[in-house]
Structure 1
Amino acid sequence: MERKGAVIGLDGAGIEEYKRLHAAAWPGVLAKISDCNIRNYSIFLKEPENLLFSYFEYHGTDYAADMARMADDPETQRWWAICGPLQRPLETRRDGEWWAEMEEVFHHE
Structure 2
Amino acid sequence: MLRNGSVIRVKPEKLDEYKNLHADAWPDVLNMIHTCNIRNYSIYYKDGYLFSYFEYIGEDYEQDMARMAQDPTTQEWWKLCEPCQEPLESRQAGEWWASMEEVFHTD
* Global fold match (TM > 0.5): yes
- Is residue 65 from structure 1 mapped to residue 101 from structure 2 by the alignment? no
Q: 1:63-102, CA deviations, whole angstroms, 9 ceiling, x for partnerless residues? A: 0000000000000000000000110000010100000001
Q: CA–CA distance in 1 between the matches of 2:40 and 2:50?
A: 16
Identity %: 62
Q: Show structure 1 runs of 4+ deviating over 6 A.
A: none
Paired residues, what number? 107
1:11, distance to aligned residue in structure 2 (A): 0.3
CA–CA separation in structure 1 for the residues paired with 2:89 and 2:102: 20
Shift of 1:108: 1.1
**Could you tell me the TM-score, scaled by structure 1's length?**
0.97
* Cα RMSD, aligned residues only: 0.4
- Consecutive unaligned residues of structure 1, counting only runs of 5 or more, are none
Aligned to 1:26: 26
CA distance in 1, matches of 2:5, 2:49: 13
Residue 108 of structure 1 corresponds to which residue in structure 2?
Answer: 106
- Amino acid paired to 2:27: P
> What is aligned with 1:84?
82
- 2:15 matched residue in structure 1: 15
* SS of alignment partner, residue 52 of structure 2: strand
Following TM superposition, by how much is the alpha carbon of 1:51 offset from its aligned partner in structure 2, in angstroms? 0.3
TM-score, normalisation: structure 2 = 0.99
* Aligned partner of residue 59 in structure 2, secondary structure: coil
**Residue aligned with 2:9, SS:** strand
Q: Report deviation, 1:32.
A: 0.1
